[in-house]
């Protein structure tokens, strides 16, 4: 169990640019989640995958955001035409199936700064 | 929708003091309740959980009891240590609804001084 990893850890980009983040979950976990956390707030749910299927997207996830999980392994989160309001910590988590849904293992996060 | 409210921080205590961090929730159905902790420079970690009313979750000297009548899940520790300094998040997952996403409170920063 090597834990959930995320790459990059920090990203600074200019408004209007596209960015992509990667998450590698714990290998035997079939559920993968993305959350966003802003300063002074708890994480907010963005989207979730069961294996390769994206089963739910939050209303927070505008059309500029897209997430994939090809082959049910790693996942990517892309933000197109970034805006300053996208600046946040993006967290990835994974868990075993339904019974362990609340026991989510979080990665260290990717901190995005849009200038 | 589901929501979690936890006491505003920051909380500053001396070593060996008693800790309580209040958490209340609003949810339909039968939520499971969690406390997650974020140590400086680290990712969120599950601290303890309770899945039904009157359950007590415990770990590392921390305890919390699921109180359905008061919709609360307060975190307690009898004697805090400097190493407990962290941000603590109360959270729920709603088995009756969206049984995949955690709904978090805003977090409470705890600082323990020697």
Q: pLDDT for B23-77, tens place per residue?
A: 999 998 789 999 999 998 888 999 999 999 999 999 999 999 999 999 999 999 9
Output b/e per residue, B71-110; b: 16+ Cβ within 10 A.
bbbbbebeebeeebbbbbbbbbbbbeebebbbbbbbbbeb
Evaluate if residue A2 carries a pLDDT over 80: no
Q: Which residue on chain A is closest to B93 by alpha carbon? A: A102
Integer Cα distance of B91 and B65 in angstroms:
13
B92, B33 in Cβ contact below 8 A?
yes
Integer Cα distance of A94 and A108 in angstroms:
12
Q: pLDDT for A31-86, tens place per residue?
A: 999 999 999 899 999 999 999 999 888 888 889 999 999 988 999 999 999 999 99
pLDDT at B99: 67
Kindly calculate the radius of gyration of chain B based on its CA atoms and give it in whole angstroms. 14
pLDDT at A99: 62
Chain B interface mutation, best of A42, A61, A109, highest count of B Cβ atoms under 10 Å: A42
Residues of chain B neighbouring A101 (CB-CB closer than 8 A): 93, 99-100
Q: Does B34 touch chain A (CB under 8 A)?
A: yes
pLDDT at A72: 84
Q: pLDDT for A73-105, tens place per residue?
A: 999 999 999 999 999 999 999 998 766 667 899
Taking the C-alpha atoms of B24, B30, B32 and B33 in order, what is their torsion angle to the nearest 10 degrees?
10
Residues of chain B neighbouring A98 (CB-CB closer than 8 A): 99
Residues of chain B neighbouring A48 (CB-CB closer than 8 A): 100-101
Distances (CA, A) of B86 to A100, B12, B55, B94, B104: 24, 11, 25, 26, 16
- β-pairing verdict for A110-114 and A10-13: parallel
Q: pLDDT for B18-28, tens place per residue?
A: 999 999 999 98
Q: Which residue on chain A is closest to B6 by alpha carbon? A: A42
Going by the DSSP 8-state scheme, the letter that residue A46 receives in this structure is: E
CA distance B113 to chain A (A): 22
Q: Is B14 helix (H, G, I), strand (E, B) or coil?
A: strand
pLDDT at A9: 96
């Amino acid at each position: 169990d090597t834990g959930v990893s995320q790459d990059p850890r920090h990203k600074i980009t200019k408004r209007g640019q596209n960015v992509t983040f990667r998450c590698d979950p714990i290998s035997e976990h079939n559920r993968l989640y993305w959350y966003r956390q802003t300063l002074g707030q708890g994480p907010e749910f963005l989207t979730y995958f069961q294996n390769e299927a994206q089963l739910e997207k939050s209303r927070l996830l505008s059309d500029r955001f897209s997430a994939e999980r090809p082959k049910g392994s790693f996942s990517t989160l892309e933000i197109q035409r970034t805006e300053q309001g996208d600046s946040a910590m993006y967290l990835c988590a994974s868990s075993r199936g339904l019974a362990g849904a609340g026991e989510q293992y979080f990665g260290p996060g990717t901190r995005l700064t849009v200038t | 929708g589901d929501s979690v409210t936890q006491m505003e921080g920051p909380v500053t205590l001396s070593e060996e003091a008693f800790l309580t961090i209040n958490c209340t929730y609003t949810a339909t159905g039968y939520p499971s309740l969690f406390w997650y902790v974020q140590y400086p420079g680290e990712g969120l970690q599950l601290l303890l959980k309770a899945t039904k009313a009157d359950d007590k979750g415990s770990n590392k000297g921390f305890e919390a009891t699921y109180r359905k009548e008061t919709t609360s899940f307060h975190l307690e520790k009898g004697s805090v240590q400097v190493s407990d300094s962290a941000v603590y998040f109360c959270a729920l997952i709603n088995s009756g609804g969206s049984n995949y996403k955690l709904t978090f409170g805003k977090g409470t920063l705890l600082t323990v001084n020697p």
